Amino acid sequence: MTHGKVHTIGIIMNGATGRMGANQHLMRSIIAIRQQGGVQTPDGDRIMPEPILVGRNPAKLQSLAEQSGGSVWTTDLDAALADPRATIYFDAQTTDRRGEAVRKAIAAGKHVYCEKPVTATLAETLELYRLARQAGLKNGVVQDKLWLPGLLKLRALCQQGFFGRILSVRGEFGYWVFEGDGPAPQRPSWNYRKEEGGGIILDMLCHFRYVLDNLFGKVRAVCCLGATHVQKRWDEQARAYPVTAEDSAYTIFELEGGIIAQINASWCVRVRRDDLFVLQVDGTKGTAVAGLRDCWIQPAAATPRPVWNPDIPSPINFYDGWQPVQELARYENAFKAEWELFLRHVITNESFPWTLLEGAKGVQLAEKAAESWTRRAWVDVPELEQSCGPV
């Protein structure tokens, strides 16, 4: 790495002690960037992030600060926002806490980057976007799936015209999240409380929106059925609680160009597929199946010709005839890849299209899906107005 000028940039990381905040954003992104010597800019300068950890539990903060090499930490968000060393505010708190904190950060003049969903409502998310834009602050939302190796391979296939005309997209997401009365649950209990911002529709349809929009075509309409399959769970203190949020969603999307997408999402499903998230894309010239890291293709010339006959074992092994897509590059951690882009956006003004407005589109889709479920009907997804370009 060429060493020119070093741009030191303080980052307030609120919610740092949570699972995503600590693992993906702090240790595997910001600390990993520091360990590699920073982010290099096109002119040979370096951007060196300095985290300021914010949370509610002093013991957890101190432990995480030590693990991350002695990071500064505090339980006082207002004090952190008043720190002149801090240029960026990052939020990985639970959804119900994010709106107020982001609003404070904007008022303090900090560039804003945050986890999704930005807030629980479209109205509040759009308000935060407008406030940031009016204040002349750069802003962004985490859309990490776009940098997963499997989806990067899918994107490359789309750009190469491998599929011909894309007909449909089929997705399966999820795994069994233990209830908590036996093995420990793999997700926090707030995920299953609607009053705390939980629910798989708000969580996962924000992801599905940016994946569909960026890879295949803009979402134009949605039809969704939610369900609460497991109605009683046990929290982190082994106390039973009633589940008030849906744990599964079965959704059909109509995309521009006539593409139909179907994605099932559930925390009550046992996995017998290639990965925890799998997308199959069918086109006139070929099909691809992508997981988080790997991708397989079957071009038209390799497509078998099955004949329906349930009275004999299938003469075709349907796993034959698929070719793995080769590694296209050295893949970074998906969260780290987007962090580097945002840091360059703040320091060098490089393009960064994944603004809070894009985050608002995810919340909009979640709201429309919930409306569809309530009405038991198809619901259109109108284009969000953007009176002027993102900052």
- Domain residues for 49? 6-144+333-355
Domain shared by 172 and 305, yes or no? yes
Tens of each residue's pLDDT in the chain, 391 residues? 445 899 999 999 999 999 999 999 999 999 999 999 999 999 999 999 999 999 999 999 999 999 999 999 999 999 999 999 999 999 999 999 999 999 999 999 999 999 999 999 999 999 999 999 999 999 999 999 999 999 999 999 999 999 999 999 999 999 999 999 999 999 999 999 999 889 999 999 999 999 999 999 999 999 999 999 999 999 999 999 999 999 999 999 999 999 999 999 999 999 999 999 999 999 999 999 999 999 999 999 999 999 999 999 999 999 999 999 998 788 999 999 999 999 999 999 999 999 999 999 999 999 999 999 999 999 999 999 754 444 4
Domain shared by 131 and 172, yes or no? no
Closest CA to 353 of 248, 222, 214: 214
Three-class DSSP category at 167: strand
**Residue 257: left if φ>0, alpha if ψ -120 to 50, beta else—which one?**
left
Beta strands (DSSP E) in 179-247 are 219-227, 232-234, 240-242
Domain shared by 253 and 338, yes or no? no
Domain shared by 154 and 270, yes or no? yes
Q: What's the predicted TM-score (pTM) here?
A: 0.94
For residue 356, which phi and psi values (nearest 5 degrees)?
-60, -25
Number of domains in the chain: 2
Domain shared by 94 and 222, yes or no? no
**Dihedral sign computed on CA atoms, order 189, 339, 88, 358:** negative
In a domain, 13, yes or no: yes
How many Å is the maximal CA-CA distance in the chain? 74
Domain shared by 311 and 339, yes or no? no
In a domain, 116, yes or no: yes
Cβ atoms of residues 51 and 68 within 8 Å = yes
Cβ atoms of residues 48 and 7 within 8 Å = yes
Cβ atoms of residues 287 and 281 within 8 Å = yes
In a domain, 350, yes or no: yes
- Which CATH number belongs to the domain containing residue 16 in this structure? 3.40.50.720
